Amino acid sequence: MNIAKLYDLQKLDVNMEKVRRRVFQLRKAMGETEKLIAARNAVESTEAEQHEWQSTQRDAELQAQLLAQRIRESEQRLMGGAVRNPKELDSLQSSIESMRRLRAEQDDRGLEAIQRLDELAQRHEAERAALAEIESAWQSKQETISEEETKLKRVFGQLKRQRESVVEALDSAEINLYDTLRERKAGVAVAAVQNDLCGACNVKLPTGVVSAVHTHPDEAVYCPSCGRILYGG
């Protein structure tokens, strides 16, 4: 049994799995971040509030203009002498005073809208600046991620070709054994012996096992602890 080739296959599979996991992480990071989404939502929320206050300002100005016109017309009637009945005069005067109060309220409403719009303009400017900074950093990160993913895909292709070459040097029985152990042993079928320890489970190996690994490099010797094939190097 070609234990050395099985170990080479193991190393390639481990590296390929690392590349797969990293590519998966990169693809998850490709989406917009919560920080970016929050910054954009803040800008959009402020813009919506600005539109509401702009509408309020326009409505207040229109109502104030209409009331001003009605007040002028009522004052002309009052001062023109066409109305002489005392009750009608009192009613007209009361109406004028009421319209003046309403106009003052609309003026106050319009002034509040202007003040609020000034505050929102400052907030909007700050939020847009923050969003631009966050977007710039995010875009830069996306480019870095894309570059890394491209490199990893290239590396994965190289590892895949190397794996195919190693597999060609093994017979079907060796590959079946390897695949079975790898499935049962969390992806690791072959472990190197390092300082008389199993490289997978880190348990100290009996002297006889270590000796067998080095004496019979083409025979499958298994770790007594984890059951993986041992490779002496």
Q: Which helix (H) or strand (E) holds 230?
A: strand 229-231
User: CATH number for the domain including 117?
Assistant: 1.10.287
Query: Both 61 and 140 in a single domain?
Result: yes
3-state secondary structure of 231: strand
User: pLDDT at position 89, please?
Assistant: 75
- Residue ending a domain, among 168, 194, 211, is 168
User: What is the C-alpha separation between 200 and 182, in angstroms, rounded?
Assistant: 12
User: pLDDT at position 84, please?
Assistant: 74
Query: Both 105 and 83 in a single domain?
Result: yes
Q: Which residues contact 155 (CB under 8 A, 6 or more apart)?
A: 19
Tell me: pLDDT of 82 over 80.
Answer: no
User: pLDDT at position 48, please?
Assistant: 98
Tell me: pLDDT of 80 over 90.
Answer: no
Q: Could you tell me which of 72, 67, 69 has the C-alpha nearest to residue 106?
A: 67
Query: Both 125 and 205 in a single domain?
Result: no
Query: Both 38 and 64 in a single domain?
Result: yes
CA 169 to chain centre: 45
User: pLDDT at position 77, please?
Assistant: 78
- Residue ending a domain, among 168, 183, 215, is 168
Any idea what DSSP says for residue 33? P
Give me the half-sphere count of Cα atoms (radius 13 Å) on the Cβ side of residue 216. 10
User: pLDDT at position 176, please?
Assistant: 95
pLDDT tens by residue, 179-231:
999 999 999 999 999 999 999 999 999 999 999 999 998 899 999 999 999 99
Query: Both 131 and 146 in a single domain?
Result: yes
Q: Is the pTM of this model over 0.75?
A: no
- Residue ending a domain, among 132, 153, 168, is 168
pLDDT tens by residue, 15-69:
999 999 999 999 988 889 999 999 999 999 999 999 999 999 999 999 999 999 9
Give me the half-sphere count of Cα atoms (radius 13 Å) on the Cβ side of residue 119. 8
User: pLDDT at position 4, please?
Assistant: 94
Q: Considering its fold, how many domains does the chain have in total?
A: 2
Q: What share of the chain is helix, strand, coil (3-state, %, to 5)?
A: 75, 5, 20
For 49, the domain range is 31-168
Average pLDDT, the chain: 94
The more confidently predicted of residues 79 and 166 is 166
**What is the band of 86 on the pLDDT scale with cuts at 50, 70, 90?**
confident
Query: 23-28, long-range: CB within 8 Å, 24+ apart, which pairs?
Result: 23/149, 23/152, 23/153, 23/156, 26/145, 26/148, 26/149, 26/152, 27/149
Tell me: pLDDT of 72 over 80.
Answer: yes
Query: Both 100 and 180 in a single domain?
Result: no
Query: Both 61 and 113 in a single domain?
Result: yes
User: pLDDT at position 83, please?
Assistant: 66
Residue 171: both structure tokens together: 């017979």
- The sheet carrying 190-194 orders its strands as 197-198, 190-194, 229-231
User: pLDDT at position 114, please?
Assistant: 97
Tell me: pLDDT of 8 over 70.
Answer: yes
